[in-house]
Amino acid sequence: MRKIGRIVSLILVFAMLATSFVFADAAAIVSPAANSIVYTDTLLVSVKVTELKTIRVSVYAERVVSGDKLVNADVSKFTEADLRSAASSSKYTDVLLGEAATYTNTVEIGFYTKQISVSPGLYKVKAETLETVMEWPEGAEEPVEKTIVTETKTSLVAVKKKPVEEKQQVFQNNSTGAVTFIRKILKGLFK
Amino acid sequence: MDWSKAKNIIIAVLLAANILIGANYIGQNVREKQRVRQAADDAVAFLQQEGMTVEARIPQQAEKLPVLFLRLQRSEGELKETTYKGLSIIVEPGGTGFEIAGTGQQAAEIMPAAEALLKLYAQLSEQGSVKGKTVENIDLVYLLSLEEVSYAAQDTAVPAWRITVDGQVYYVNAYKD
Amino acid sequence: MDGRTKKLEKLKNAVIVVLFLTTILLLNLTWRSEGSGSFRLPNVLDLISPDVWVPDAEEFMVPERSIYGFGDGTFSVSSWNAPDDLETVLSLIRKESGSASFLINEVTPEQYREMFTGYRTLKVSFSYLIPFGEFCDRCGINRSSSFDQVGSFDSFLLSEAAPESFFVEGGGKCWRFISDSEEDVATPVLSTMIRLDPVCYTAGSMFGNENLSLLPLTDSNVLADSSWRSEAASDVEKAGREMAESVFGENFDFVRRITDSVGNVTYMYGYGEKTLTCLKEGIFEYKTETAEGPDPGFYQSLQTAIAFTATHGGWGSDRRKLAYVLQSAKETGSGRNKSYTFEFAQVEGGVLLFAEDGPAITVRVSGSEVDYYRRAVVEANVQTAELRQTADAANVIAGNSHLIHSVLGGNLLAASSDLEFSFVAQKYREASAGYIVSEEALKPVWVITMEGGTKFFFGLYDALPLGFTRK
């Protein structure tokens, strides 16, 4: 009897996993964009859910060991390439910021949105799609509900402080400097 | 003060004023009637010159008239000919019953029949020659045309000159512009 | 003898009275026959009576909102600060235009995006386009012929990205006005910007597209279901008659009056050259033949619309506070066939009222004459409740994207809800709280404005669809 129960629960789990492969990508992290660099002290977390599912969203600070403490990673010189390699690096420790939040989508498309205060460093946003399955633990008379993660999406973002010299570069291409210089000369000539 | 003498003077002055104003009023009316009759004669003469015969008697000046509000009854049945101040009320197209629901608060002057005749002449001339046509009848009626408004439960009839030319009936709005 | 004399004197008295009365009577008859006609009060109102309140066009030229961008992707929006912010920006521009000349460059979409999202920026916006030249003239801004490249505008911007310049935006384009004085005009203003709740982000940040229109992250409100009735509810027939008298003047007693089976009345002059329809719900619609004529310009046309409304229903009794805003102004045609259509919305407690079939007052002016006027004004009894969280604006849009997509006539072959949502997310323009006039009550709603101006209404707290404007 016990053996039959175990087989049934295994079948159920595999069936759920199989269907989750067929209907993958229930959640997608819209913000922050993966491997992006932002200049802000608040981070917008936006996760798009396209199925009638529940997701769990967690935000982690990727910290590094410094002496006997964990400190924010120094991302001041990070490029997008550095972010891509950081994803597979083992030198970072995930430190959960606040508590993980759950969001249940009840319509065709829904969004989980939240604003998080951050300081310069490396951050990871994780969105896990949750499923409730029935499992038959050993020795149990009846199957019990268990929440499993069927899909995980992550997005790494580097939060930096905007250097002053980067400001006011938007309109440099207009060559306003040269035009203004010529206008000044002409104005001076005809005064 | 000799009030008795004063009263005599006042009576004499008021009497003289009454006579003057009265004579002026009567004179105005007479002149107006003459003018209208002359205008009618001139109109008939003009039409005859243009080849139209006018057999109808041209009505003289009509009193001021208000609009009429009619409550429409769209049930089938014999159309009741109703009148207002002696004028027939015509609802076109026929077949719709009605009753008078009220009148407009003010009355406006009615265009002389001769002027309506000339307006009709102008309209007919645009469509072709009027030579040989005969004006058989001209009278004042109230007209409600339902052609463009078929949903009305209550509508407004206005005075119109109904002119019959060779058996064909035409209507000309009788209010002065 | 005394007795006879007394009787004679009494008789004389009577004769004098009679003669006096007959004189009056004869004079009256004489005047009438001379066709002096009757005297009608509405004729006098052709010259506007001093008791009729005619607001000035300037009172309606109020910006809809100020957007404060903090350069880190976050924004705040304020409607009550907008008039003061506009005056601050205009005083800077007036000062610069008085002493400096400008080089005007068109800003590329990429530059605009970077400026708007990456730098501290103030944007003050109207909800309609205004001819830039006329606006400058009215506001005392010295302009040169180079200003003409900006046809119509709806926003001014100041930005940390170019603090010596100001920007003018309208019709999908943005122009940078570079002053040769090179004075930093923007920083003193931008440094005083403060964050307001709720924080807003671009739709692009939330939805993952390029849309720069703003959405609040979360919001809360006190608006609650409220009662309303038509302004004409106490006596619709009388209100209709008064409206008809004001429209037709001395001809009122001679226009055709048609009543249908449910009680709606149409007044028609001539063969339909002028019509006034009075619906039993207290809605009035006036139409006349469109007149051709020289274009009097935006402001003069607006003043004509305001004056016409003042004498045909009015602007309310409280002259201290105008209860209407100019919500939309559209120009159609050109030259002698140019028309201006102005839409005015009612405001109750700082919140706009909307209805599916259109705004409270619509006036179209062609060649200095009003040829269309629609009035659907309500008396509202606004209630408020305790402050509570509203439905998430992003999810209001996402959850109702199928409906919005169908109404906007998107790709009917879009098989997936994701494609429908992408279409809607791209077309989204604005989300604000308001009331919708529904049959049962004034209901608090999210007003979602899409590209092209169509507005959708969803329950403010439950996101249920409650209608949309049929434009």
pLDDT at A190 over 60: no
Tell me the CATH number for domain C58-196. 2.60.40
Q: Residue B155 belongs to what domain range?
A: 6-173
pLDDT at C405 over 90: yes
B-C Cβ pairs (cutoff 8 Å, strict)? 77
pLDDT at C115 over 90: yes
Q: Is C209 on the interface with A (CB under 8 A)?
A: no
- Residue from A115, A77, A69 nearest A95 by CA: A69
Nearest to C35 among B67, B106, B109 (CB): B109
Q: Which chains touch C (3 or more CB pairs under 8 A)?
A: A, B
Q: Are C226 and C383 in contact (CB under 8 A)?
A: yes
Chain C contacts of A33, Cβ < 8 Å?
208
Q: Are C344 and C324 in contact (CB under 8 A)?
A: yes
Model pLDDT for residues C261-280, shown as the tens digit of each residue: 999 999 998 888 899 999 99
For chain B (177 residues), the mean pLDDT of every run of 10, in chain order, is 88 94 89 84 88 87 86 67 86 84 90 91 88 91 84 91 93 85
pLDDT at A178: 53
Tell me the CATH number for domain C227-378. 3.30.310.160
pLDDT at A91: 87
- Mean pLDDT along residues A29-50: 94
pLDDT at C45: 43
Contact present, B and C (at least 3 Cβ pairs less than 8 Å)? yes
Q: Is residue B126 part of a domain?
A: yes
CB contact under 8 A, C206 and A41: no
- Mean pLDDT along residues C380-404: 95
Chain C contacts of B108, Cβ < 8 Å?
253-254
What chain C residue is nearest to A26 in terms of C-alpha separation?
C418
How far is C265 from chain B, CA to nearest CA, in Å? 9
State the average pLDDT for chain A.
83
Chain B contacts of C237, Cβ < 8 Å?
none
For chain C, percent of residues with pLDDT exceeding 90? 79
Alpha-carbon Rg of chain A, whole angstroms?
A: 25
Written as six digits, the tokens of C308 are: 């016409």
pLDDT at C39: 45
How far is A142 from chain C, CA to nearest CA, in Å? 38
CB contact under 8 A, A113 and C392: yes
pLDDT at B61: 67
CB contact under 8 A, A168 and C162: yes
pLDDT at C284 over 90: yes
Contact present, A and B (at least 3 Cβ pairs less than 8 Å)? no
CB contact under 8 A, C208 and A48: yes
> Total domain count for chain B?
1
pLDDT at A23: 45
- Residue from B6, B61, B11, B68 nearest B37 by CA: B61
Q: Is residue B151 part of a domain?
A: yes
Burial category of B16 from C-beta neighbours within 10 Å (exposed 0-12, middle 13-18, buried 19 and up): exposed
pLDDT at A21: 46
Mutate to test the interface with C, among A171, A179, A180 (most CBs of C within 10 A): A171
| Number of C-beta neighbours around residue C21 at 10 A | 11
- Mean pLDDT along residues C325-354: 94
How far is C254 from chain B, CA to nearest CA, in Å? 6
Mutate to test the interface with A, among C106, C395, C464 (most CBs of A within 10 A): C395
The residue with greater pLDDT, B78 or C307, is C307
pLDDT at C50: 63
CB contact under 8 A, C160 and A168: yes
ipTM: 0.84
How far is B63 from chain C, CA to nearest CA, in Å? 11
Which residues lie below 8 Å from residue C34, measured CB to CB, with a gap of 6+?
B28
pLDDT at A80 over 90: no
pLDDT at C33: 65
Under DSSP, the state recorded for C228 is: E
pLDDT at C41: 44
pLDDT at C79: 94
Mutate to test the interface with C, among B99, B145, B156, B171 (most CBs of C within 10 A): B156
Q: Where are the alpha helices (DSSP H) in chain A?
A: 2-22, 80-86, 176-189
- Residue from C426, C433, C471 nearest C451 by CA: C426
Written as six digits, the tokens of B161 are: 């000159």
Instruction: Please give the CATH topology (third level) of the domain spanning A2-166.
Output: Immunoglobulin-like (2.60.40)
**Dihedral angle at the C-alpha atoms of B61, B63, B65, B70, nearest 10 degrees?**
-90
pLDDT-based confidence at residue A51 (cuts at 50, 70, 90): very high
Q: Is C325 on the interface with A (CB under 8 A)?
A: no
Give the CATH number of the domain where residue B142 resides. 2.40.128.690
What chain C residue is nearest to B74 in terms of C-alpha separation?
C261
Q: Is A93 on the interface with C (CB under 8 A)?
A: no
Question: Where are the strands (E) in A16-169, listed by range?
Answer: 27-31, 36-39, 42-49, 54-66, 69-72, 93-96, 101-104, 110-117, 121-135, 144-160
Q: Are C161 and C177 in contact (CB under 8 A)?
A: no
Q: Is A110 on the interface with C (CB under 8 A)?
A: yes
Interatomic CA distance for residues A74 and A62, integer angstroms: 10
Q: Where are the alpha helices (DSSP H) in C197-353?
A: 203-207, 236-248, 298-311
Model pLDDT for residues A167-176, shown as the tens digit of each residue: 567 887 554 5
- Residue from A109, A104, A130 nearest C405 by CA: A109
CB contact under 8 A, A109 and C417: yes
- Residue from C129, C126, C146 nearest C62 by CA: C126
Interatomic CA distance for residues C259 and C267, integer angstroms: 9
Written as six digits, the tokens of C231 are: 């302004």
Spell out the domain ranges in chain A: 2-166
- Mean pLDDT along residues C28-48: 56
Q: Are B8 and C19 in contact (CB under 8 A)?
A: no
Q: Is residue B1 part of a domain?
A: no
| Number of C-beta neighbours around residue B9 at 10 A | 9
CA angle centred on C437, ends C431 and C441, rounded to 5°? 115
Nearest to C19 among B11, B105, B152 (CB): B11
pLDDT at B149: 74
Interatomic CA distance for residues C36 and C32, integer angstroms: 6
Q: Are B31 and B3 in contact (CB under 8 A)?
A: no
The residue with greater pLDDT, C38 or A119, is A119
Interatomic CA distance for residues A35 and A54, integer angstroms: 25
Say if strands C428-437 and C351-354 run parallel, antiparallel, or are unpaired: parallel
How far is C185 from chain A, CA to nearest CA, in Å? 14
A-C Cβ pairs (cutoff 8 Å, strict)? 103
